[in-house]
């Protein structure tokens, strides 16, 4: 993830958290225990719903789960509930909204730490060389993906890893020979063979 993507996702997560906090602060319960929103916060529900898919993606992007195990007390059926996707149904499951906000806060904390690391890394030329190198390694798989193949599955297969290793070695060797040539050192095959035998 690049610095700018991390910064954008962090800003979106903070905005989403503030919308959720404002919305639920403007709700109350009736005598039957059902939640009702005041007129002033009803428009926020639409904004929250629009942001839910990207918020879930941002959480999963850094490995933060937003699901919890749930057992229905009446039937005993168990499963996992995504607290963000089911934000307006949490009362029905008797899950406090604060549980979902806890997940959000953890994700925001991860992004804040990552942003500091990425900001430092963005000034490091070796960071950009590494990104360029990784981009070059994945290029053949992006071509296959454009042709309709499942690029991710191919890249993660044993054959894909071997291809990446070979391409990586060739790119590294070419870069090394170019550096040696720029330094004025001999880079012919006979010169290299002589150097290896020494």
Q: 92-131 pLDDT, tens per residue?
A: 888 899 999 999 999 999 999 999 999 988 888 887 878 7
CA separation for the pair 53, 66 (Å, rounded): 12
Average pLDDT, the chain: 85
More confident residue, 39 or 192: 39
Highest mean pLDDT among 78-82, 113-117, 152-156: 113-117
pLDDT at 141 (0 to 100): 79
Instruction: Report pTM.
Output: 0.71
**128-161 as b/e, with b when 16 or more CB fall inside 10 Å?**
eeeeeeeeebbebbeeeeeeeeebeeebeeeebe
Buried b (16+ CB within 10 A) or exposed e, 96-118: ebeebbebbeebbebbeebbeeb
- The DSSP code sequence of 157-196 is SHHHHHHHHHHHHHHHHHHHHHHHHHTT---SHHHHHHHH
Does 72 or 25 have the greater pLDDT score? 25
Where residue 189 falls among pLDDT bands split at 50, 70, 90?
low
Read off the tokens for 198.
């020494």
């Amino acid at each position: 993830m690049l610095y700018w993507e991390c910064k954008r996702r962090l800003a979106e997560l903070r905005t989403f958290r503030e919308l959720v906090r404002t919305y639920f602060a403007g709700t109350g319960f009736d005598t039957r225990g059902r939640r009702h929103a005041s007129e002033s916060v009803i428009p926020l529900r639409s904004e929250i719903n629009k942001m839910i898919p990207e918020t879930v993606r941002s959480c999963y992007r850094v490995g933060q789960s937003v699901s919890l195990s749930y057992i229905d007390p009446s039937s005993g059926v168990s499963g996992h509930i995504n607290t963000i996707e089911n934000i307006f149904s949490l009362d029905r499951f008797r899950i406090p909204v604060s549980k979902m906000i806890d997940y959000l806060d953890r994700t925001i904390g991860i992004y804040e730490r990552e942003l500091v690391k990425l900001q430092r890394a963005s000034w490091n030329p070796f960071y950009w060389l590494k990104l360029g190198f990784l981009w070059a390694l994945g290029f053949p798989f992006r071509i296959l993906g454009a042709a309709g193949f499942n690029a991710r599955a191919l890249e993660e297969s044993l054959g894909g890893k071997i291809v990446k290793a070979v391409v990586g070695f060739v790119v590294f060797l070419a870069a090394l020979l170019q550096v040696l040539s720029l330094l004025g050192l001999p880079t012919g095959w006979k010169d290299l063979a002589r150097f290896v035998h020494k």
